[in-house]
Structure 1
């Protein structure tokens, strides 16, 4: 593509030198050869540059990724055109100062080239003689090409094979660190049973520097794969992922998401969701959001191509609720702060002193037995000392009960939201999202004040598509 212009210029110069052998000066032959191809060469390069112009209109991440490439290609093509129009004719005039040797005979050319030239000449003559039919045929082909755009799937960029797989695991909220580690070990043993996997690395929770907001119920499992040509049972990574999904589904209470490390980072950077498609339900009441999320999940799971469909597990976490009876507090001369400090001391201990050893300082904390953190009856029996010296049990001034509630409340732009996510396998992202939108509009009725937003890889791919459509009238001309 870069050297095409130079090749055409040199070839036409040699052709003119052969035809004008002994009839015109070599310099004049080179000059005429350059005049003959300057216009078609210029148009050819401009057409190629026009192909890259829409990329210059991209914004956001896609613009930062691809705009330098388009700028580099356009600059290289423009430079190659200048080289072909100036430097190549000058070098040809020096190289062939004495002219080019005349061909021995027309038959010296290869026979296949002669047949090709004759066929091209006949086809060109026929097209010139039937101009109306030629133009009509070209118009039909152009219209068919434009119409096919509506049948072509859309994605941000082709999926790259990174040579590894990332399995995101989500356990039930409220799981202890010990149980989370044990479950991850069970997952690791099942994964290592696959001979196609070279190594397994598991990360649970957030790292030390808190670059990711992950709880201990969340984890990333990195699968380092052996070379594909050594696999015995599977031919593609998609087949391996299907087998892994089938194997891991036997571990109950865990949601899985299969992706790749770099793809996951891009998705999370753009929309905060590690999936191809994220359906974000935004509203005020969390139980209502949870109910709507379940409906969306059921509808999404039935669409062809949906894989790893799941909803953020943020509810049904056991909580110990302490509802204070203010009238009872007033009878004993206590206040809300007394109850708050007592419950906090029972749950996490209380700092009572500090030990100083030279330049070192150590805090001394008082902690009650573990039963005051795990047994509701023991919490009810915690004693408070009233100003009059009376000892009052906690359940005399508060109602204590075990309830279920959200582990965390996700917000986006100051509004509560819950996310239903899914990956896409076996079809393109654009048609999948279009079908999801259509089905949710038919089946989901949102209360006033609630709305749906779409994110994930869709958020990345929608930018290039809209930019290309808006710039099409300009670069197509």
Structure 2
């Protein structure tokens, strides 16, 4: 059979088997050298991992941009419109830009209401064919963003944040800020928060790769303060809450009824005319009623004045906070944020009661990495239990799972060749690879067991070489089919829609190649060194199972001589 099968094999297969025979013969004769080289390769790959950059998700290529303009609080709609127009003119100077669309402010009833000092510009790009028609060439995304930031930096007095539509919304969901990283400073005094935020901004701005750095807009605006005097209130028999409620109705208004116009409803609000609500002298002379029915001016029971105050006070978890936001360009997110943390710790000293947190993609990346680490441990434990339930040998399972570190070697090389940055997508590829890599070991070792159990082979080098050669083609075919399926995902790295699939595919493809080629020689060598113990353990485990599965064989009936079964015929 083997001779006929060999005659039917193609020339390529016969050539591969001849080469594999020589490799196996050499490897089985030098097992220590094979394992030493493999161990060094694994140690080298593992030592490179801490030096790789990290990020939450790979950079998206959505084919468009979202540019946020933020002018100082209190900027009128007319001025915001002028600034937005200037921004659009600078953006349209880029040859790759097809058109822009801008929205300044958002309605109060909108789910994401924005004041008129904030503008959002959507930027659409031309296709490569359109640029070729005018003799232009499409630049890389990084070159376009660098040029755009330089042009928008000419517009003073506004904070600019450049992102992409989906990325911006993901960042907003993660941290409440339309930026990759949000540094939140918590404390009690708003002026101190502002001062520390500016110090943090200065420290972070010195870190290479930090762009679109800005402090949350917060300015001092005049505010009307009415402070009731307790002694005067008691003299007139008034209560503080009653006075505050009356003043709120007079100046802010109170809904007393509704008017119907067909299907429409309109609130009927009672308050003073606008002229009496804007002049401080008129406000001080506004009359309120006492319990005795007399009307007295507000100035008799309260101090009325204009004082500067912040235009907005933001709280999170019942604490006041101010946010510093930034994006990262030209380097990975993880190393950039770590350098920012180091600079801030060295230059900014926060007193007791003040602290800061890092949110956005950096926080999500750390949380997801820890979760994936625990899930990968559960995955390895699950693979071990499944294999042990079949082979009943820890030695056998260990040799099969040896393919996992072999796959790590190729995965690390693949990440190194494609930029040297780990993302959550890369980690997902590693977990997927653990199951795929174990398959080759199962195919090889299960065939060794088959040769010993069913074909009368003895444990020897000849048996290992025969089993390896007979499994060479299936191993290479399954690996080749999987690799060919992944190749389309590794092409056109920057194509829209492939950003997350690309790192997954490259990690699996690199690990699949290294585990397959190393498995051809490493698995036979390891089986030669430890296979005898593994086979003995395997046979003991399956022998015990077979006895437990057929207990009737232990309780067989006693043997009866044939003569005793036929007494009549024996007597005759």
TM-score by length of 2: 0.56
Aligned to 1:128: 28
SS of the counterpart of 2:68?
Answer: strand
- Structure 1 position 453 matched with structure 2 position 360: no
SS of the counterpart of 1:165?
Answer: strand
SS of the counterpart of 1:202?
Answer: strand
1:213-362 equivalent positions in 2, closer than 5 A: 213-228=113-128, 230-231=130-131, 232=136, 235-325=139-229, 341=246, 345=250
CA-CA distance at 1:319 after TM superposition: 2.5
2:71/2:118 contact within 8 Å kept: yes
Aligned to 1:384: 287
C-alpha separation in 1, matches of 2:332 and 2:64:
22
Residues 265 and 393 (structure 1 numbering): CA distance in 2 closer, same or farther, change over 3 Å?
A: closer
- Structure 1 position 109 matched with structure 2 position 11: yes
CA-CA distance at 1:266 after TM superposition: 1.5
SS of the counterpart of 2:40?
Answer: helix
> Aligned-pair RMSD on alpha carbons?
3.7
1:353/1:365 contact within 8 Å kept: no
Aligned to 2:71: 171
The total of aligned residue pairs comes to: 373
Query: Which of 158, 169, 186 matches 2:86?
Result: 186
SS of the counterpart of 1:281?
Answer: strand
C-alpha separation in 2, matches of 1:470 and 1:356:
61
Alignment gaps of 5+ in structure 1: 1-15, 22-28, 30-99
Aligned to 1:96: none
1:381/1:394 contact within 8 Å kept: yes
Query: Which of 199, 210, 230 matches 2:99?
Result: 199
2:72/2:219 contact within 8 Å kept: no
C-alpha separation in 2, matches of 1:437 and 1:227:
40
C-alpha separation in 2, matches of 1:458 and 1:333:
58
- Structure 1 position 416 matched with structure 2 position 320: yes
Query: Which of 303, 306, 315 matches 1:401?
Result: 306
2:249/2:270 contact within 8 Å kept: no
Aligned to 2:372: 468
2:249/2:271 contact within 8 Å kept: no
Residues 171 and 370 (structure 1 numbering): CA distance in 2 closer, same or farther, change over 3 Å?
A: farther
CA-CA distance at 1:421 after TM superposition: 1.2
C-alpha separation in 1, matches of 2:264 and 2:37:
89
2:228/2:301 contact within 8 Å kept: no
C-alpha separation in 2, matches of 1:165 and 1:366:
45
Q: State which structure, 1 or 2, has the greater radius of gyration over its C-alpha atoms.
A: 2
Q: Which has the larger share of helix?
A: 2
C-alpha separation in 1, matches of 2:214 and 2:11:
68
1:334/1:386 contact within 8 Å kept: no
Aligned to 1:80: none
C-alpha separation in 1, matches of 2:349 and 2:328:
25
Residues 143 and 137 (structure 1 numbering): CA distance in 2 closer, same or farther, change over 3 Å?
A: same
1:352/1:366 contact within 8 Å kept: no
C-alpha separation in 1, matches of 2:310 and 2:130:
47
C-alpha separation in 2, matches of 1:236 and 1:357:
58
C-alpha separation in 1, matches of 2:90 and 2:274:
38
SS of the counterpart of 1:156?
Answer: coil
CA-CA distance at 1:135 after TM superposition: 0.6
Residues 208 and 391 (structure 1 numbering): CA distance in 2 closer, same or farther, change over 3 Å?
A: closer
C-alpha separation in 2, matches of 1:191 and 1:348:
42
Residue deviations 1:221-269 (CA, integer Å, cap 9, x gap): 2112222454437611222222222222222221111111111121222
CA-CA distance at 1:341 after TM superposition: 4.7
